[in-house]
């Protein structure tokens, strides 16, 4: 079988995108998806995303981690899919789409995509870390020497040790200014450090605000793959009007064959 694919990256979080509006992609073939995402035996990506038809919105997002399993929301992937929808002529500058966590809206200007995330109702604050769900589960922990950390190994310890089989994504953070933070993320389903994680930096911005580390409702987060901006409103016990903004670009296209 042959199928066109497109490779996108959003601050270094990279994805194979497939236009599946004709429903030809074998969605339950976990091994095939893992092979496509394999960086030596396949195209190589942190995840694979299908763009499908939806009756109520512009399109539907179906997200798979690089291990081939369908997973929860991917913020950078959502931003890349909006850029892909524009490339396909499905949208112009505004988009509404449905993902596993509900409906999202987005705006695209040039290669900058601003994506509205779901409201966050609860942040669990522990002495050493916070835990919250921004569409995907995230552990947020301030550390002293972020650059020197072995994120794959420290992340795996927490991902399996603290969160068991379902797991969590693990974000290690250091503050770089009054409203800016540096972040490195271990992603479950990739089971490694990625260069950036959209739901992760969103979680970091909210957790740092809740912890009183910043009073701003517009936070810059620097990842190894680039900079993202998160803005939000403070609600009673949670956060609303949460936006994740940053670049999303097509890097190449090709044909999958299997």
Active site residues: 74, 197
Q: For 165-177, b where at least 16 C-beta lie within 10 A, e where not — what string? A: eebbbbbbbbeee
Q: Which is nearer to ligand LBFN2T5F, 155 or 189 (CB)?
A: 189
Q: Is 199 annotated as a binding residue?
A: yes
Q: Which is nearer to ligand LBFN2T5F, 13 or 130 (CB)?
A: 13
User: CA 171, 183, 227: angle at the middle one, nearest 5?
Assistant: 135
Judge contact between 215 and 176, C-beta under 8 A.
no
CB of 130 to ligand LBFN2T5F, least distance (A): 16
CB of 215 to ligand LBFN2T5F, least distance (A): 25
Interface characters, 76-115, with ligand LBFN2T5F (x: CB under 6 A): xx--------------------------------------
Q: Which is nearer to ligand LBFN2T5F, 189 or 236 (CB)?
A: 189
CB of 14 to ligand LBFN2T5F, least distance (A): 10
Please provide residue 161's backbone torsions phi and psi, each rounded to the nearest 5 degrees.
Answer: -70, -45
Closest CA to 197 of 207, 183, 210, 179: 183
Closest CA to 249 of 21, 41, 84: 84
The three-state secondary structure class of 13 is strand
Direct distance between the N- and C-terminal alpha carbons of the chain, in angstroms, rounded to an integer: 5
The reply on whether position 197 binds ligand LBFN2T5F by CB under 6 A is: yes
Judge contact between 85 and 17, C-beta under 8 A.
no
Residues that bind ligand LBFN2T5F (CB under 6 A): 13, 65, 71-72, 74-77, 136, 169, 187-190, 194, 197-200
Annotated binding site for substrate: 13, 65, 75-76, 169, 187-188, 198-199
């Amino acid at each position: 079988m042959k199928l066109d694919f497109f490779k996108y990256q959003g601050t270094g979080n990279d994805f194979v995108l497939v236009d599946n509006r004709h429903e030809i992609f074998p969605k339950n073939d976990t091994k095939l998806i893992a092979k496509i995402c394999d960086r030596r035996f396949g195209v190589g990506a942190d995840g694979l995303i299908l763009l499908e038809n939806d009756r109520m919105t512009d399109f539907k997002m179906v997200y798979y981690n690089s291990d081939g399993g369908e997973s929860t929301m991917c913020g950078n992937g959502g931003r890349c899919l909006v850029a892909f929808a524009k490339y396909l002529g499905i949208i112009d500058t505004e988009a509404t789409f449905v993902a596993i966590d509900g409906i999202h809206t987005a705006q695209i200007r040039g290669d900058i995509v601003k994506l509205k995330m779901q409201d966050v109702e609860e942040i669990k604050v522990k002495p050493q870390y916070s835990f919250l769900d921004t569409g995907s589960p995230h552990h947020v922990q301030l550390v002293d020497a972020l650059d020197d950390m072995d994120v794959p190994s420290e992340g795996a310890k927490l991902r399996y040790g603290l969160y068991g089989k379902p797991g969590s994504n693990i974000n290690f953070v250091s503050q770089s200014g009054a409203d800016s933070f540096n972040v490195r993320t271990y992603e479950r389903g990739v089971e490694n450090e990625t260069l950036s994680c959209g739901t992760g930096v969103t979680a970091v911005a909210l957790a740092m605000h809740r912890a009183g580390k910043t009073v701003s409702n517009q936070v810059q987060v620097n990842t190894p793959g680039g900079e993202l901006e998160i803005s939000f409103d403070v609600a009673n016990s949670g956060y609303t009007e949460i936006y994740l903004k940053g670049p999303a670009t097509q890097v190449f296209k090709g044909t999958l064959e299997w």
